[in-house]
Structure 1
């Protein structure tokens, strides 16, 4: 067995793992990144595309935003559509913050290029990663690289491999407490070669269910439909998708939705999930490995970046001074913001999605919430501060050191 050493073994080459590796190198800390999928798969994997202003600022500081600044679409508001009316939410006017539309896979491409150019040890197609000795001072990761068994001795392991990854499953039963909520609906997501019908996002509340009009570029639209939980993509041919999107999104006096070839479609279950603490021994969980939020408020990628910002700073402190306090305080620093994002994502899900059949009371509550958000300046400002991430940034840590 080939034996290697590194400071931090990072499992997962999504945006969290790649960003952590980049930041560690800036701090002079060696790492190895292991990804079970191929590079092509990782770069093509379509995910969220809304970056909060604080996320963009952090990527700029890290030297990773050149293409994002050239190609990302800057938004200062979005539109609610309900009751055949349109109401604009001017969140920049209310908060001073903008958001960027920039596909997660594009950020991943930027990060992979940066890591490759820096000569990082970034290995794809590594399917059998096995963290060991996490509760000891000498953890290791075993895997197979290019057909050769390898053991990587390290100081710490960073689990950035998502909800279904091996990192969290390597923790002994009972060592972590998990909290979970499942929702009675799902999203049918569509990527289409069609110009967006509007310059800003459209959140449509309709009697047949929620719909979202988003975009990835001036030529590519990203669209979502509320469907039943467990729905199959096979039940949604392109013709049915476009018909339902027109029904839920089109209103009199607004540009009609443009159609085009469907490039990709998938059904995504909505769930909320949090692990406490976000660490075990020498293992630190970040991003979807530690928490999942419903996609309604687009907080997943932004939460992952927030985790990595805290974790990278803690590693830097440890290797520069020997102080493990910030690492020990990692969960306490991150979890309040995680729960704040969970609360807003849950609230926004209830604001937008059609309640389950027969819940007339819930429909009336939904209408009251929409009227408040679109007509009360105080409610609109509170919503906007949550939407752009400002409220989460103001959430204090639970003691410990960030």
Structure 2
């Protein structure tokens, strides 16, 4: 099998890249190790930055998002029983975010790819990327019980942290930066309308809490818990009682309870692999970087990566210059490190470390007071939350 761009992974990054390349007249093949049902139902991020929303519209994948997604023009910071709303459009040049689950993004992009795009092979397990430093890289993969080879001009690894793409880069050429946090998120889905119409980020002496949503009738909520927590060790009543404590306000706001349909625990870590390119192999998304979920950056960073690659390859096709392809890693990493910085700032601002001192508690409150009283500090948060420019 032969193509211009071999894409490993049919998450939102790989699927969006295939669509961007299709629109630029560049052929591709997408290899996905899981079946279609799994890809369309795996629960992941649900906050889309303004730039992600714009690019989905541009490639024709915005209709259902615009009809069913929830546009949010701000978030609420909650601390010391106070409530402070951050107004995104007023602070970030009119930008906002969209609540629209990654599962739905994948469904939309899969439908487009199968209707109009190049080959999308489910249950096609990538085994290795070979000859990445040559002008004819190859992806060995297994599909329908037999091994095959995809010969490419370029390979883009959108296959996540545990995928094979990153392993093709020699260890002697790489540098890894990472941090593991001593806490995790216990997340629930509940069949109850959200208790607030925008996300609520709560800092409490007992730990962080987040009020989010999947739809007007389904709430998504999170509690900071110790690293290694078993989700089943928390009863439904204990979860609701703890959420009520951490979201408590000085006014008459109340948290609505409902049946919990799903529980899971998400570990918290930061990770960056440099470089993001080796020869004609390019890494995108979790294959190259991971952020704690506090800043809602994971999916959006992956989108930025593939937009950068598609622009660079289109430029090479039209201008005959590899200048932008050569700059891919450096270009992406500028945005990645700003997202890492913001995600770290949000995490350290709102979570209480197990060994936190009274001094550190006061610093957190002082930082939150600064955001709620300074337009400059508030603007920095709003600009980062709604998204850093692509490229």
Give TM-score, length-normalised by structure 2: 0.96
Query: Would the alpha carbon gap of residues 128 and 29 (structure 1) be closer, same or farther in structure 2, given more than 3 Å must change?
Result: closer
Question: How far 1:128 sits from its partner (Å)?
Answer: 4.5
What value does the CA root-mean-square deviation take over the aligned residues?
Answer: 1.5
Matching of residue 175 in structure 1 with residue 173 in structure 2: yes
Query: Would the alpha carbon gap of residues 254 and 336 (structure 1) be closer, same or farther in structure 2, given more than 3 Å must change?
Result: farther
Match of 2:385 in 1: 387
Question: How far 1:311 sits from its partner (Å)?
Answer: 0.3
Contact 2:78–2:200 (8 Å) recurs in 1:
yes
Question: How far 1:177 sits from its partner (Å)?
Answer: 1.1
Moved more, 166-175 or 16-25: 166-175
Moved more, 345-354 or 314-323: 314-323
Q: Secondary structure at the match of 1:303?
A: helix
Match of 1:7 in 2: 4
Matching of residue 42 in structure 1 with residue 39 in structure 2: yes
Question: How far 1:47 sits from its partner (Å)?
Answer: 1.1
Give TM-score, length-normalised by structure 1: 0.94
CA distance in 1, matches of 2:263, 2:312: 39
Matching of residue 210 in structure 1 with residue 194 in structure 2: no
The CA deviation string for residues 235-257 of structure 1, in whole angstroms up to 9 with x for no partner, is: 12322222211221243534422
The CA deviation string for residues 80-111 of structure 1, in whole angstroms up to 9 with x for no partner, is: 11111211111222222111111111111111
CA distance in 1, matches of 2:173, 2:158: 19
Question: How far 1:354 sits from its partner (Å)?
Answer: 1.2
Question: How far 1:358 sits from its partner (Å)?
Answer: 4.4
Match of 2:259 in 1: 261
Pick one of 79, 83, 97 that aligns with 1:82.
79
Unaligned 5+ segments in structure 1 are: 395-401
Question: How far 1:119 sits from its partner (Å)?
Answer: 4.8
Moved more, 248-257 or 68-77: 248-257
Q: Secondary structure at the match of 1:5?
A: coil
The CA deviation string for residues 251-291 of structure 1, in whole angstroms up to 9 with x for no partner, is: 35344222222222211111111111111111000111111
The CA deviation string for residues 305-335 of structure 1, in whole angstroms up to 9 with x for no partner, is: 1111110011112233432111111012111
Match of 1:399 in 2: none
Contact 1:310–1:330 (8 Å) recurs in 2:
yes
Match of 2:271 in 1: 273
Match of 2:293 in 1: 295
Match of 1:21 in 2: 18
CA distance in 2, matches of 1:250, 1:109: 37
Match of 2:317 in 1: 319
Match of 1:124 in 2: 122
Contact 1:10–1:32 (8 Å) recurs in 2:
yes
Question: Number of matched residues?
Answer: 390
Contact 1:10–1:159 (8 Å) recurs in 2:
yes
Match of 1:238 in 2: 236
Question: How far 1:194 sits from its partner (Å)?
Answer: 1.3
CA distance in 2, matches of 1:16, 1:233: 29
Question: How far 1:7 sits from its partner (Å)?
Answer: 0.7
Match of 1:228 in 2: 226
Q: Secondary structure at the match of 1:393?
A: coil
CA distance in 1, matches of 2:300, 2:7: 19
Contact 2:40–2:107 (8 Å) recurs in 1:
yes
Q: Secondary structure at the match of 1:194?
A: coil
Contact 1:198–1:255 (8 Å) recurs in 2:
no
CA distance in 1, matches of 2:262, 2:121: 27
Question: How far 1:355 sits from its partner (Å)?
Answer: 2.6
- 1:58-97 equivalent positions in 2, closer than 5 A: 58-95=55-92, 96-97=94-95
Contact 1:177–1:276 (8 Å) recurs in 2:
yes
CA distance in 1, matches of 2:366, 2:319: 54
Q: Secondary structure at the match of 2:212?
A: strand
Question: How far 1:166 sits from its partner (Å)?
Answer: 1.2
Moved more, 196-205 or 144-153: 144-153
CA distance in 2, matches of 1:345, 1:138: 37
Q: Secondary structure at the match of 1:356?
A: coil
Contact 2:41–2:103 (8 Å) recurs in 1:
yes
Contact 2:22–2:117 (8 Å) recurs in 1:
no
